[in-house]
Amino acid sequence: MSARGLLLLPGGFALLAGLNAALPLLGLPAPVRADGVAEVHGILLTLGFVGTVVALERAVAAGRTLGYLAPAALGAGAVLLVLPVGQQIANTALLIGTAALVVLYVPLWRRNTDIAVLIQAGGAVLAVGAALLWSAHLAVPVLLPWLSGFLILTIAGERLELTRIVNSDFRTEAMLAGIAGAYLTAALAALLWPGLGYRLLGLTLLAMIGWLAWHDVARRTVRGTGLPRYMAVCLLTGYAWLLVPAGAWVLIGQVPDGRGYDAVVHAVMLGFVMSMIMAHAPVILPAVLRRPLPYTPMMYGPVVLLHVSLLLRIAVGDAGDSQAAVQWGGVLNIVAVLAFVVVAVVSVSRRTIREAEKVAA
């Protein structure tokens, strides 16, 4: 296995540990019993899993050896969260990893002063804030705007880079940068003055959704075929799920617990973030691991299951106050994520076997 693959392993561990920890939160038994892991479920999946993947991809793009400190520290922090070594050590590793991610954007910015990089760096700043607040023992619901912002701004910056393929307009890009800056301000306001801050956060997120839905190249490629259409379906569906937290924050304000919180957090983290991961996996993973991940129509299966099960969880379970629907939806959410991993592994394996057969012939 390559060095990059080894750095990705702790991220994979964080994914599995986070999914395992989700089951007790649903009121169901977990396959692997680990006391206290349920409390770190959200951090494992955001900073541990997605954070490691994002940091590794950025380190590869920067092309600097020291850049790999970011994914290494985030992955180590995720593993340490699960081990009985003291949470403060894990928290320190996560803080180092997020800070290293911010530093990683400096050479990327100097390379071509790209607005997309600036937006992604703003997301990394929110990740540092989330790690600091987590170290100060604030609850994950309080961190949600920061954790969500880290992932939303990172993905928005990535999409801006791809949007330039069909449209390069400085004013349009500056508008997205302004929205990203407004999100940073609103996240701080939500922490200090929740009554006002969350409504500003919701309005800012609505503006972000509008920009992405209108300007993203996915609006055109959804009419295509193969991988471009698959990615577009995942992207546009993910943007739609962001309407749940945006609407809740505008109309209600902070939703710290209960069914409303379950709907908001999983609309962001599963409906949006996981859909983005499924969309970009065939492009990002080959660039990071130097191993092709060929697109296959089988990838639609986990995607459809993810969104249908999330609809069951939120529209029937959370909105209808049905614990059974929340549990069934939650279990199927986990199955969808694991199914995508299986499909990806099978796709890579088939490609490897075909290449070996060509060499043998």
> Could you give the C-alpha distances from 171 to 115, 132, 174, in angstroms and in order?
11, 34, 5
Q: What is the three-class DSSP state of 319? A: coil
The upper half-sphere exposure of residue 145, i.e. CA atoms within 13 Å in the direction of its Cβ, equals 30
Contacts of 253 (CB under 8 A, 6+ apart): 194, 195, 198, 199
Which residue has tokens 């307009």? 169
- The pLDDT value recorded for residue 255 is 94
9-58 confidence digits (pLDDT tens): 999 999 999 999 999 999 999 898 877 788 899 999 999 999 999 999 99
Phi-psi region of 258 (alpha: psi -120 to 50; beta: other; left: phi over 0): left
The stretch 142-159 carries a mean pLDDT of 97
236-291 confidence digits (pLDDT tens): 999 999 999 999 999 999 999 999 999 999 999 999 999 999 999 999 888 887 78
Q: How far apart are CA 272 and CA 213, in angstroms?
A: 13
Sign (positive or negative) of CA dihedral 337, 71, 132, 183: negative
CA dihedral 250, 197, 307, 47 (to 10 degrees): 180
The stretch 65-89 carries a mean pLDDT of 92
Exposed/middle/buried for 8, CB within 10 Å: 0-12, 13-18, 19+? buried
170-229 confidence digits (pLDDT tens): 888 999 999 999 999 999 999 999 999 999 999 999 999 999 999 999 999 999 999 999
Q: Which tops the pLDDT comparison, 4 or 108? A: 108
Contact 10, 52 (CB under 8 A): yes
Say if residue 359's pLDDT is above 60. no
The stretch 323-346 carries a mean pLDDT of 97
Which residue has tokens 């693959």? 5
